[in-house]
A = this chain, B = another copy of it.
Amino acid sequence: MLYGGDYNPEQWPRDVWEHDMRLLREASINEVTLNVFSWAALQPDEQTYDFSRLDDIVELVSNNGMQIIMATSTGALPAWMSFKYPDVERVDFDGRKHRHGARQNACPNSPTYRRYAAELAGKLAERYSSLDNLVAWHVSNEYEGMCYCPNCARAYRDWLRGRYGSIDHLNSVWGTDFWGHTYDSFDQIYPPDRAGDGSYDDPCAVLPAASLDYARFFDDSVIGAYKVEKEAIRNVDQHTPITTNFMGNFYQYDYQHWAKDIDIAAWDCYPRLGTPPSDTAFWHDVIRCLKQRPFLLMEQTPSRMNWMPYNALKRPGQMRQQSWQAIAHGADSVQFFQMRRSRYGCEKFHGAVIDADGTDKTRTFQEVAALGRELAQVGSLIVGSMPKARVAMVFDWSSWRGLRNAIGPSTDLDYLREAKAMYAELYRRNISVDVVSADADFSVYDVVLAPTLYIVSEHHAARLNDYVQHGGTLVLTVMSAISDEHDVLHQGFTPAPFHETSGVWTMETDALAPDCTVPLCFGGGASKSIEADADHHESEPAGRVLCDIVVPDDDTEVLATYGEGQFYAGKPAITRHREGSGLCYYAGTFLNVPAMREFIGSVLAEAGIPTIETDPGVSINTRYTQAGEALTFIINDTAEPRTVAIPRDGVDLLAQAPVALKAGVATQLPPFGVMLLR
């Protein structure tokens, strides 16, 4: 199992490098990611390449037995390129042309940038692909941001021509007769910046279809820039995996759309102060399902971040717990940003394995070293194993983007938050989940949850309807299937494409005032009206943010109704409908924690999917080796001790001395404690 991360020794004299090696070996580090931001050094001018310093670093780390992930260094432009070829620089939403600065600063549609990036990637491949200890190529670094420049405008028009053929077709699909926006030619179309239709209210969109298309085009643009580097490497090196590092919570880049072009999924995991562990697990599951294979945890901080408002230290044991959580969800590496703390630049307050003191005396170093010993011992058992999930959640970038663009019905509507809220209930129940795209093969799952699947094409709707017909259980919610893939309203009884399957018509949707909730009555029983007392506001089931006025079909079962407080008191809120051999649930409001517990509980019970009840903050996950052996990870996500009932007979591989454990025996987990049951 890879254990390492970013190493940028350029900031120190060479005697420090040797010193670093000794410390890193002491910490059982076996991998370094090199060359992340060295373009200016590797290519000091347009004609010259100079790999001498990188050669030295490669030799050093190789001699010290480290494996290498080699970055291509194209995440930040060299100054000479920015000034000689200004087309490589981006134009921002406000129309401002940028100069040399920041990072992820290249326009992905700049031919100059693409040409030189490919040339550099090719030269790196020629020089280093034969290294025995090269384990992967890492193209660029944390792709992010948008560009609105003339390069992009031209490329966008070509992309649109390819997609729509004629301007009339585009006008029709985009609905440009709205507010008289009709275009006469593709030449009149520009990226939606503040001077155009982005101007109304960032990030709201006058023409949602145009905004969606620009996002999709931009995905293709950045993927295109990635692929010219990938191809340059592949010309030389046909075997080493090629990837780039993704991030969580970025609606701008659709990683599911990227998946086909990466060889192994990798991401950088930075939970902030107060991030629930289930939110982190959600993204682990998204990333694992991109390739349905183990992924790389390519970055995390060993101690603190610097770019959050409040950069708390990871508590003793917490870095270990987070690392094991990643592994439990499918990571085959534990990597850090970074090996040694920056001397300068805006990340100098970011944590590192080696701090400014340059010793092994820090708590951080010692925890890194302890985890290194553990991984050296058991890592090879784990590598290649995978979780198995009977439940899938559909997570859809188009719905995310569409709802971000939407003007109405409520500014409190947050696609990502609602997906995570439903995921959290599955996490609490220790149920393995695949978080997949709308193109996934649903037939392998007993239950498919599709919260807030706002954008659904006819094609995707047909796949999900078919899944229910053939016995699947589908869960839909308020704001389902409002729009098609161009964010054009489906006509008919909402959710029109699922009207028959769901057995409901959501006649209208009420937006609640901020902090207002509506009580929910399950099972026909009376629900108490929710009291204003803040201490109890989560104690009773309730709906949040939006409430559908649901009109159920005659054969639709009502699982919950709205309680007192609004004019739709007593009306259906949650329903279930049998269609074909399957079941379709519809939740007409976003559920608070007690309501989610009740609702998901009944869905799972009906589907025969067992919950593993644990104390709050204890999570249990299992990976299965290719030989079928189960590896069960029992993790205390909290800073307090917890008790857990051992889920099955086994041996804790992380215990000081191996102990046979019996299923059902109550066992103590220390704060942030971890057991690995074989």
Binding site for B on A (CB under 8 A): 10-11, 37-41, 44-45, 73, 75-80, 82-83, 92, 94-103, 174-184, 187-188, 190, 192, 194-200, 204-209, 273-274, 303-313, 315-316, 341-350, 355-358, 361-364, 406-412, 483, 486-494, 496, 505, 507-514, 549, 567, 639
Contact residues in B for A205 (Cβ distance below 8 Å)? 346
Cα A79 to Cα B196 with chains together (Å): 12
Would you list 13 pairs from A and B whose C-beta atoms are within 8 A, ordered by A residue? A40-B181, A95-B96, A96-B195, A98-B195, A99-B196, A178-B346, A208-B345, A306-B408, A311-B410, A311-B511, A343-B491, A356-B494, A358-B491
Do residues A37 and B349 form an inter-chain contact, with CB atoms below 8 A?
no
Do residues A344 and B487 form an inter-chain contact, with CB atoms below 8 A?
yes
Do residues B408 and A311 form an inter-chain contact, with CB atoms below 8 A?
yes
CB distance from A125 to the nearest CB of B (A): 20
Do residues B512 and A310 form an inter-chain contact, with CB atoms below 8 A?
yes
Can you list the 9 inter-chain pairs with the closest CB atoms, starting with the nearest? A175-B344, A178-B345, A306-B408, A349-B408, A40-B182, A101-B197, A101-B196, A76-B180, A37-B180
Contact residues in B for A180 (Cβ distance below 8 Å)? 37-41, 73, 75-78, 103
Do residues A102 and B200 form an inter-chain contact, with CB atoms below 8 A?
yes
* Known contacts A102-B199, A511-B311; A177/B411 CB under 8 A: no
* Known contacts A206-B346, A362-B508; A316/B567 CB under 8 A: yes
Contact residues in B for A496 (Cβ distance below 8 Å)? 356
| Complex: chain B residue closest to A306, CB-CB | B408
CB distance from A138 to the nearest CB of B (A): 15
Do residues A37 and B178 form an inter-chain contact, with CB atoms below 8 A?
yes
* Known contacts A180-B37, A310-B513; A488/B344 CB under 8 A: yes
Known: A79-B188, A343-B491. 5 other contacts (CB 8 A): A37-B177, A101-B195, A101-B206, A273-B513, A344-B486
Which residue of B99, B103, B199 is within 8 Å of A179 (Cβ)?
B103
Do residues A344 and B209 form an inter-chain contact, with CB atoms below 8 A?
yes
Do residues A349 and B567 form an inter-chain contact, with CB atoms below 8 A?
no
CB distance from A145 to the nearest CB of B (A): 11
Contact residues in B for A309 (Cβ distance below 8 Å)? 410-412, 514
Cα A40 to Cα B408 with chains together (Å): 27
Contact residues in B for A207 (Cβ distance below 8 Å)? 344-346
Cα A11 to Cα B357 with chains together (Å): 65
CB distance from A47 to the nearest CB of B (A): 13
Do residues A349 and B406 form an inter-chain contact, with CB atoms below 8 A?
yes
Contact residues in B for A188 (Cβ distance below 8 Å)? 79, 82-83, 100
* Known contacts A182-B41, A409-B306, A507-B362; A489/B274 CB under 8 A: no
Contact residues in B for A361 (Cβ distance below 8 Å)? 507
* Known contacts A45-B184, A306-B409; A315/B567 CB under 8 A: yes
Contact residues in B for A208 (Cβ distance below 8 Å)? 344-346, 348
Cα A662 to Cα B591 with chains together (Å): 51
Which residue of B179, B209, B487, B490 is within 8 Å of A76 (Cβ)?
B179
* Known contacts A188-B100, A197-B102, A513-B273; A508/B78 CB under 8 A: no
| Complex: chain B residue closest to A98, CB-CB | B195
Cα A493 to Cα B359 with chains together (Å): 9
Cα A97 to Cα B182 with chains together (Å): 20
Which residue of B187, B508, B512 is within 8 Å of A363 (Cβ)?
B508
Cα A200 to Cα B310 with chains together (Å): 18
Cα A509 to Cα B282 with chains together (Å): 30
Cα A611 to Cα B410 with chains together (Å): 40
Do residues A304 and B182 form an inter-chain contact, with CB atoms below 8 A?
no
Contact residues in B for A10 (Cβ distance below 8 Å)? 177
Contact residues in B for A176 (Cβ distance below 8 Å)? 40
Cα A408 to Cα B639 with chains together (Å): 24
Cα A488 to Cα B76 with chains together (Å): 21
CB distance from A9 to the nearest CB of B (A): 11
Contact residues in B for A312 (Cβ distance below 8 Å)? 510-513
Which residue of B95, B206, B483, B492 is within 8 Å of A102 (Cβ)?
B206
* Known contacts A491-B358, A508-B363; A174/B98 CB under 8 A: no
Do residues A79 and B184 form an inter-chain contact, with CB atoms below 8 A?
yes
Which residue of B349, B511, B514 is within 8 Å of A407 (Cβ)?
B349
| Complex: chain B residue closest to A507, CB-CB | B362
Contact residues in B for A511 (Cβ distance below 8 Å)? 273, 304, 310-313
CB distance from A84 to the nearest CB of B (A): 10
Do residues B508 and A364 form an inter-chain contact, with CB atoms below 8 A?
yes
CB distance from A352 to the nearest CB of B (A): 11
Contact residues in B for A195 (Cβ distance below 8 Å)? 96-99, 101
Contact residues in B for A96 (Cβ distance below 8 Å)? 94-95, 194-195
Contact residues in B for A273 (Cβ distance below 8 Å)? 511, 513
Contact residues in B for A364 (Cβ distance below 8 Å)? 508
Contact residues in B for A346 (Cβ distance below 8 Å)? 178, 200, 204-208, 407
CB distance from A640 to the nearest CB of B (A): 12
Contact residues in B for A508 (Cβ distance below 8 Å)? 303-304, 313, 355, 362-364
Cα A274 to Cα B409 with chains together (Å): 16
Contact residues in B for A410 (Cβ distance below 8 Å)? 309-311
Contact residues in B for A513 (Cβ distance below 8 Å)? 273-274, 310, 312
Cα A511 to Cα B356 with chains together (Å): 18
